Amino acid sequence: MKRLISQLLIAGLLFTFLPVVQVQASEDDRLLEYAKSFQGVPYKMGGSTPSGFDCSGFLIYVFKEIGISLPRTAAEQYNIGTKVERDDLQPGDLVFFSNTYKPGISHSGIYVGDNSFISATSSKGIDIVSLSNSYWGPKYAGAKRVITAGEYKDIPQSHFAYEAVKQLSTQQIILGFEDQTFKPADSVTRGQAAAIINRVLKESPKSLNSYHDVPASSRFAKDIAAIKELGIINGFPDGTFRPESTMTRAQMAVIVDKAFKLGTKNVTSAAAVYADVPSSYWAHDAIVLMNKIDITTGFKTETYRIADSATRADFSAAIYNALHVK
């Protein structure tokens, strides 16, 4: 258990992608920042634009920003999502109130934390109010959760990396994009890989002059130099590192093996696992290890495709597998 917790902490650092990969902040943080930007916008019955909002119209407009569609009325919104007890409220949850201007569920808002919520009020427009407010407190009716961490519209449950992505996203290890996609086929570059690994190791290189194509001013200079000195990711014979080049699946296997110290002592050089990976191939043992520890089925294939770019789905599955090695 201690080993797993330690590995999860490492993975959290390992999969914190840098800006070039365009990873978003957590959905709820981005949602709340967007919602709060409308504070002061006037109340308008039936309104669903920044020129004026009613309560449900405000929620529809805000949640649309992160790719979530909500029903038109507060009563209809109350019928979706997962029920949340008041003591378990998290920022981004929908909160509902009854018997305001009419009987039944008649007002909705977004929980922002600290026992407060933001909504379109008839008195002050978009405003943040305490759930214990003398008016709203007695009318509190319940809450629903519609932001499900780790769920992306381009990662169906049938996708080999579904569980890996879901768990890593839930733990804030790797997140999706603004349109609620994960972009599983996007590639990881060599520069990003170096930075990811060094976020785990936190090594300071002796010199930033590592490769001809990595000036000291480069955003990846420190990380690439450190990784070079540690011998984890090597450069090319011409003295370049090619930081913007994509990282291959073969390189990914070796990096994951080294980063998590998985070891290949139980992999025999004669093991015939992939048709396209001869026993003499430089990354053979690490690649076979990807198959051996695989619990996602993503690496249980006839070929490994050694020269293909490592994708976000590949990396997620590889890290997930490494975390579950017993």
Q: For residue 175, what pLDDT band results from cuts at 50, 70 and 90? A: low
User: Do the beta carbons of residue 248 and residue 310 sit within 8 Å?
Assistant: yes
- One-letter amino acid for residue 194 of the chain: A
**Would you say residue 98 has pLDDT above 90?**
yes
Mean pLDDT of 307-323: 90
**Would you say residue 67 has pLDDT above 80?**
no
72 vs 44, 56, 181, 298, CA distance in Å?
A: 14, 6, 24, 40
Count the alpha carbons within 13 Å of 324 in the hemisphere toward its beta carbon: 16
Choice among 37-41, 177-181, 271-275, 282-286 with the minimum mean pLDDT: 177-181
Stronger pLDDT, 139 or 194, i.e. the higher one: 139
Tens of pLDDT, residue by residue over 250-272, are 989 998 898 778 886 566 655 67
Output the CA torsion sign for 56, 63, 27, 81.
positive
Give the rounded distance of the alpha carbon of 271 from its chain centre.
Answer: 35
Would you state the pLDDT for residue 164?
Answer: 87
Answer yes or no: CATH 3.90.1720.10 is held by domain 27-145. yes
Choice among 57-61, 73-77, 264-268, 273-277 with the minimum mean pLDDT: 264-268
Tens of pLDDT, residue by residue over 137-154, are 999 999 998 876 667 878
Q: For residue 119, what pLDDT band results from cuts at 50, 70 and 90? A: very high
* Best CA proximity match to 283, nearest among 307, 250, 315: 250
Mean pLDDT of 301-321: 93
**Would you say residue 133 has pLDDT above 60?**
yes
Predicted model pTM = 0.54
User: Do the beta carbons of residue 274 and residue 302 sit within 8 Å?
Assistant: yes
Q: For residue 23, what pLDDT band results from cuts at 50, 70 and 90? A: very low
Q: Compute the distance between CA of residue 132 and CA of residue 135 in angstroms, rounded to an integer.
A: 8
> Among 17-26, 56-65, 192-201, which range has the highest average pLDDT?
56-65
Would you state the pLDDT for residue 148?
Answer: 67
Would you state the pLDDT for residue 181?
Answer: 81
| Domain coordinates in residue numbering, the chain | 2-25+150-188+246-323, 27-145
The DSSP secondary structure of 33-82, one letter per residue, reads HHHHTTTTPPB-TT-EETTEE-HHHHHHHHHHTTT----SSHHHHTTSSE
